[in-house]
Amino acid sequence: MTDTRYIGSHRARPDAADKVTGKVRYIHDISKPGMLYGKIKRSEHAHARIVSIDTTRAERLPGVCAVITGYNTPPVAVGFLRDNSALKRDKVRHFRDEVAAVAAIDPDIAAAAIDLIEVEYEPLPCVFDPLEALEPGAPLVHEQDARGTSVTSNLVPMECGHDSGDVEAARRAAAHIVEGDYSVPLIQQSCLGTAGCIAEFDGNDNLTITAKTQIPFLAQRDFNRALGEMGLRGRNSRVIVPALGGAFGSGLDTHCYEFIAILLAHRTGRPVKILVDREEEFASLSPRQSARVKIAQGCDAQGRLLFRDIEVVQDNGAYASWGATFPTVMLLPVTSLYRVPNVRFTSCIVYTNNTYCQAMRGYGNPEVTWAIDSNLDDLADAAGIDALEMRRINCNEPGEVTPMQMKISTCGLRECLDKTAEHLDWSEKRGAGSGPGQTRTGVGMASLIHVGGSGRIYRSDASGLTVKLDDFGNVNVFYGGVEMGQGLHAVLTMAVADSFGVLPEHVHINQTDTATCPWDVGTHASRGAFMSCNAAILAAEKVRARIFSACEELFPAEIDRALTKLRRDDPELGVPDFDFAAASRADNFELRDSEVFLRDGPDVPWARVPLGRILRAMHFRRDGEMLTESVFYDPPSDLPDWKKGIGNMSACYTYGVQGVEVEVDEDTGEVAIKKLVSALDVGKVLNPPALRGQVYGGIAQGIGYALYEEVKTEQGRILNPNFTDYKLPTACEMDFPIVLEFIETDEPVGPFGAKGAGEPGLVPTAPAIANAIQDAIGVRIRDLPITPEKILAALAKRG
């Protein structure tokens, strides 16, 4: 690798110009010749038997090309537990359940046709509360599993827990113990760009699907399996990812609407587009699940944590998607945030007739960090220890192996704590109390640990990367990860430029397409930059070795030619001093800014050969070659044993702290954030503006989670499926100073020393705010979001 002249610098994103001028093509902007529009008929009940579906009136509507139901299409199973199906037969388990679908020549006709489909239901008893769903005699959401075996409970068959040390003995030995019941609500990923897809078949029954996904290759696997179920075994699906307007985890699974588009495209023989509008996105896609967290932590008289005991109950909703696997990531903070020797964790995921849930930024981590770091402040209070000191006493350290057997390589948590305290004037402001009038001010903080070197939740945690260099010195990059607004293409451009030694203008990141890009497990777990940049570095080693090896033969001739040309222009030119012997040894070459030169050669223009010239020479010589290389980077981590909650799931770990100063109005219950400090150990800052953007965005989402956001439901129906009724913070709410500190711990396995930083921004925000509120007004809020009404209710109780 050459020196880093682009990594760490401020450069415009390669996609910036197209985004600000409106040239980028999102799924909404794409159409195909002959394309039809698909629309889905959803259930009118939270739980009911389907008695009959009458589609005759819809079929007769002019412009309708196909009407499909679960009864006139092959069954297509959906979800990793195969407990869902593209179109429901026999029964519906939530309002979002798909009972029929239409393809028509325009969206209005499709919508009109949907209204003409008549479905007769026989309502069934419903269950919406996960604890009630566990009681004997509760209505069963699924009477049998995917294999057809009868089940007797609403428990989702997922086992994830942890039990290390001796929690009971530690509980007996503890000087102070604090328990608490915490909860987090259902919230929406709220991507600016809503979801959609276009499915089309070629004449050989191979599928091409343009889809909003973060997992093109796992989606390809799912779609190929669906083709098999449709009688097209052996046919292939090609997944193409358009520009995405945000994903935040919403693209981590395949969706019923995608399988329905596939069924409709196959039925009609024409491309079929299904777009999900904002209301549908709220009502019929999968949000972040609600959870209840019961926690107890205990420490000795000196404040050293002795044990942590956590029980989580999650409302899974009607079908299993990745929300059901959140406990696997909860294990991270549960076992490894602060040093705690005895840890017990149990989780239980319950089917209900609510909407089903899946991934969102942080993936279980914010849910449980909410309880851990709120409860830790209360424990510090009980022990009479300052909350910052409590965190220092129990701070994680480099080289530590946690109860989960996570191997902590670099860890900047202590520095993050100190920086946060310093910017927050902790020693002055903590416990200082009053503000003007009816307001009270307070400061609080919370920490985070997250996977920094990808997270192994699948047999392969790899990322492939292919580069194709051309005659003009361009480096075309084919990477299976997904640019969804986070800046992946920007950082990968910089990493390729630096690791190859080419100009960033010559680096072209191509569209993610399963037909051209090598396999990648998906863009999640804060892994995009870590994985793609590490793959780029591996590819650079191979490419540079081949270029330098070819230069042994080609470089002297290029110099000779350059000198001949110079002499033609200037016959007086003598014989310049050039070591042709050195120019015939591969390890003497260097490539920088798209020019090949001798590392110890003269620093003159004629001694530097443009990369394109070398590449052309490689191409056009006898037995010529095109320079293409593929690498496959799989990080050094282990697939944990989820039942035991043991395993080093990431190659390294990111730590951070957020501190908040709040002003609470005791009359109105309003919380105003006056200042927020984020200190994050990212290993190395790769792309300063993009990293700041990630953290600012995470903080905004964290504030939404803390103070505003909640998908409200009544008997399973979503009541606020729009941005009038579901409130996100906007720029107006972000009107306070934010101090960002990045701690560079130079992670050995990280590309250029970097660790993942995509998700951490939102992880500790809510507990930091709650801790600051507690400092201000002496009340502990345990249920998100922290609304003014909850504050007033708590104040009334406080007296």
Partner 1 sequence: MSATQSEYLRPKDLRAALEHKAATPDARFIAGGTDLLVHARRPGATLPQSLISLRAVAELNEVTVVGATLRIGAAAPLTEVARHPVIAERLPALVASIDVLGSRQIRNVATLGGNLCNASPAADTAPPLLVHDARVELQHVGGRREVPLVEFFRGPGETAIEANEVMTAVLLELPPPNAEAAFERKGRVRMDLAIAIVAGLFELDGSVVRRARVAAGAVAPLPLRLTEVEERLTGSELDDDVIAEARRLTTEAISPISDLRSSADYRRHLTGVFVERMLHGVAGSSVTGRPGA
Nearer to partner 1, 5 or 727 (CB): 727
Binding span for partner 1 by CB under 8 A among 200-208, 312-320, 653-661, 723-731: 723-731
Among 362, 729, 751, 758, binds partner 1 (CB under 8 A): 729
Nearer to partner 1, 108 or 181 (CB): 108
Are residues 109 and 292 in contact, defined by beta-carbon separation less than 8 angstroms?
no
Nearer to partner 1, 513 or 733 (CB): 733
Are residues 56 and 62 in contact, defined by beta-carbon separation less than 8 angstroms?
no
Smallest gap from residue 791 Cβ to partner 1 (A):
11
Nearer to partner 1, 586 or 792 (CB): 792
Binding span for partner 1 by CB under 8 A among 4-12, 608-616, 645-653, 665-673: 665-673
Residue 221 as a binder of partner 1 (CB under 8 A): the answer is no
Smallest gap from residue 725 Cβ to partner 1 (A):
5
Nearer to partner 1, 20 or 731 (CB): 731
Residue 641 as a binder of partner 1 (CB under 8 A): the answer is no
Binding span for partner 1 by CB under 8 A among 8-16, 639-647, 738-746, 788-796: 788-796
Are residues 372 and 379 in contact, defined by beta-carbon separation less than 8 angstroms?
no
Among 20, 732, 797, 799, binds partner 1 (CB under 8 A): 732
| Pairing of β 98-104 and β 36-42 | antiparallel
Amino acid at 367: E
Cα-based distances in Å from 376 to 299, 370, 435, 436, 447: 10, 10, 25, 29, 11
Sign for the CA dihedral angle at 456, 324, 358, 224 comes to positive
Residue 44 as a binder of partner 1 (CB under 8 A): the answer is no
Among 719, 737, 748, 798, binds partner 1 (CB under 8 A): 719
Smallest gap from residue 111 Cβ to partner 1 (A):
9
Smallest gap from residue 116 Cβ to partner 1 (A):
14
CA dihedral of residues 155, 159, 161, 163 (deg, nearest 10): 110
Nearer to partner 1, 158 or 706 (CB): 706
Binding span for partner 1 by CB under 8 A among 83-91, 218-226, 652-660, 717-725: 717-725
C-alpha to C-alpha distance for 607 and 575, rounded to whole angstroms: 13
β-pair partners for 155: 350
Residue 792 as a binder of partner 1 (CB under 8 A): the answer is yes
Residue 730 as a binder of partner 1 (CB under 8 A): the answer is yes
Residue 109 DSSP SS3: helix
CA dihedral of residues 697, 701, 704, 706 (deg, nearest 10): -120
Two tokens, residue 600: 């110890």
Nearer to partner 1, 149 or 724 (CB): 724
Smallest gap from residue 323 Cβ to partner 1 (A):
24
C-alpha Rg value of the chain to the nearest Å: 29
Binding span for partner 1 by CB under 8 A among 36-44, 213-221, 688-696, 721-729: 721-729
C-alpha to C-alpha distance for 293 and 782, rounded to whole angstroms: 10
Nearer to partner 1, 31 or 730 (CB): 730
Smallest gap from residue 130 Cβ to partner 1 (A):
23
Nearer to partner 1, 202 or 725 (CB): 725
Binding span for partner 1 by CB under 8 A among 315-323, 539-547, 583-591, 787-795: 787-795
Size of the site for partner 1 (CB under 8 A): 22
Cβ neighbors of 462 (< 8 A, separation 6 or more) are 519, 520, 521, 531, 632, 633, 634, 635
Binding span for partner 1 by CB under 8 A among 186-194, 248-256, 359-367, 783-791: 783-791
Cα–Cα nearest to 284, from 721, 715, 724: 721
Nearer to partner 1, 692 or 790 (CB): 790
C-alpha to C-alpha distance for 639 and 642, rounded to whole angstroms: 9
DSSP assignment letter at 86: S
Helices 365-383 & 326-336 angle (0-180, nearest 10): 30
Among 725, 746, 748, 798, binds partner 1 (CB under 8 A): 725
Nearer to partner 1, 106 or 179 (CB): 106
How long is the chain? 799
Element (H, E) at 545: helix 528-569
Sign for the CA dihedral angle at 556, 559, 564, 570 comes to negative
C-alpha to C-alpha distance for 461 and 647, rounded to whole angstroms: 14
How crowded is residue 304: how many other Cβ atoms within 10 Å of its Cβ? Answer: 18
Nearer to partner 1, 62 or 574 (CB): 62
- Which 189-218 residues touch partner 1, going by CB under 8 A? none
Nearer to partner 1, 2 or 720 (CB): 720
Smallest gap from residue 168 Cβ to partner 1 (A):
43
C-alpha to C-alpha distance for 12 and 187, rounded to whole angstroms: 32
- Which 572-611 residues touch partner 1, going by CB under 8 A? none
User: Is residue 785 reached through a cis peptide bond, with omega within 30 degrees of 0 on the bond before it?
Assistant: yes
- Which 419-448 residues touch partner 1, going by CB under 8 A? none
Smallest gap from residue 708 Cβ to partner 1 (A):
6
Q: One symbol per residue from 106 to 135: x for binding partner 1 (CB under 8 A), - otherwise; what is it?
A: --x---------------------------
Smallest gap from residue 700 Cβ to partner 1 (A):
12
Among 44, 667, 715, 798, binds partner 1 (CB under 8 A): 667
Backbone angles phi, psi at 443, to 5 degrees: -125, 150
Residue 708 as a binder of partner 1 (CB under 8 A): the answer is yes
Smallest gap from residue 342 Cβ to partner 1 (A):
42
Residue 588 DSSP SS3: helix
Two tokens, residue 218: 């796992």
C-alpha to C-alpha distance for 36 and 272, rounded to whole angstroms: 5
C-alpha to C-alpha distance for 522 and 544, rounded to whole angstroms: 28
Are residues 774 and 780 in contact, defined by beta-carbon separation less than 8 angstroms?
yes
Backbone angles phi, psi at 617, to 5 degrees: -65, -40
Residue 279 as a binder of partner 1 (CB under 8 A): the answer is yes
C-alpha to C-alpha distance for 357 and 158, rounded to whole angstroms: 15
C-alpha to C-alpha distance for 460 and 473, rounded to whole angstroms: 33
Nearer to partner 1, 565 or 798 (CB): 798
Nearer to partner 1, 116 or 244 (CB): 116
Smallest gap from residue 257 Cβ to partner 1 (A):
17
Are residues 773 and 444 in contact, defined by beta-carbon separation less than 8 angstroms?
yes
Residue 56 as a binder of partner 1 (CB under 8 A): the answer is no
Nearer to partner 1, 122 or 725 (CB): 725
β-pair partners for 176: 299
Q: Nearest 5 degrees, angle CA 473-CA 592-CA 686?
A: 100
Residue 733 as a binder of partner 1 (CB under 8 A): the answer is yes
- Which 91-110 residues touch partner 1, going by CB under 8 A? 108
Cα-based distances in Å from 505 to 484, 560, 592, 605: 21, 28, 13, 20
Residue 783 as a binder of partner 1 (CB under 8 A): the answer is no
Nearer to partner 1, 569 or 789 (CB): 789
C-alpha to C-alpha distance for 323 and 265, rounded to whole angstroms: 29
Among 149, 789, 797, 799, binds partner 1 (CB under 8 A): 789
Nearer to partner 1, 24 or 792 (CB): 792
Binding span for partner 1 by CB under 8 A among 81-89, 225-233, 266-274, 730-738: 730-738
Among 59, 727, 736, 795, binds partner 1 (CB under 8 A): 727
Cα–Cα nearest to 307, from 447, 445, 446, 173: 173
What residue ranges bind partner 1 (CB under 8 A)?
Answer: 108, 279, 667-670, 708, 712, 719-720, 724-725, 727-730, 732-733, 787-789, 792
